[in-house]
Structure 1
Amino acid sequence: MRYIVNGSCVGCGLCTGICPEVFTMTDEGVAKAIDEEVDRDLATALDAMQNCPVQAIEAQE
C-alpha cells in the first residue's frame, strides 16, 4: 500500500502525529507521505487517512 497526500492538505500535522513512519512535514508546512510502500496492515497509516480533517490522504494499492 502506498499513501499520497494531495493538495488539500492544510498542514495540521495530525497524520505525522499518528503515523510518523509514513508521514512527514515538508518545509512548506504541509504533510508528505514517505515514498515507500508500507505494510497494508499498518493500522496507524490507515487511522491517519481516516482521521484527516480535510481528507487529503489517499491510498493506492
Structure 2
Amino acid sequence: MALTITDECINCDVCEPECPNDAISMGESIYEIEPSRCTECVGHFDEPQCVQICPVACIPIHPDFVEDNASLWAKYRRLQAEAGKPVSDAAPQA
C-alpha cells in the first residue's frame, strides 16, 4: 500500500527527510507521496517513518494504491536495485 498526505498537512517539513525511498516531496501546496516509491518503509523499518513522526496524523493509506506485503517487498527490491544498492532477500514469510 502506498500512503498519502491529506490536506491537513501543515508543511512542517519533518516527513520528507525521514523517507528512506525519497517518495515524499513538496507538491503545489502540501507535501505529496509518490505511490510508485512508497513501500510503507518495508525493507527499512517496521513502521512507516512519516506516519510515526507526523505531528498532525495526516498520512493515511492511499485507497487507490492498496498492495499486499509481497508487493511492497518487490517494490523495495526494485527501488534498491535502481539505486545500485544491495538488495536484501529477507522478507517476512506469509
Query: What TM-score range do you get, normalising by the shorter chain?
Result: 0.7 to 0.9
Q: Which runs of 4+ in 1 moved over 4 A?
A: none
- 2:28 and 2:47 map into 1 onto residues whose CA distance is 21
CA RMSD in angstroms, aligned pairs only: 2.4
Relative contact order, higher structure (CA 8 A, sep 6+): 1
User: Which has more radius of gyration?
Assistant: 2
Matched, 1:39 2:39: yes
Structure 2 CA distance, aligned partners of 1:38 and 1:54?
A: 20
Measure, in 2, the Cα distance between the counterparts of 1:3 and 1:17: 16
Structural mapping, 1:14-53, within 5 Å: 14-19=14-19, 21-28=22-29, 30-36=30-36, 38-40=38-40, 41=42, 42-43=44-45, 46-53=48-55
1:10 alignment partner in structure 2: 10
Deviations 1:25-58 (A, max 9, x none): 1232x21111326335143970111210000111
Residue 54 of structure 1: aligned partner? 56
Which amino acid in the other structure matches residue 48 of structure 2?
L
My pick for the range that moved more, 10-19 or 32-41, is 32-41
Which residues of structure 1 form unaligned runs of 5+? none
Return 5+ residue gaps in structure 2 as ranges. 67-94
Count of aligned pairs between the two proteins: 60
Give me the whole-angstrom Cα distance separating, in 1, the residues matched to 2:31 and 2:51: 12
Separation in 1, partners of 2:60, 2:52:
9
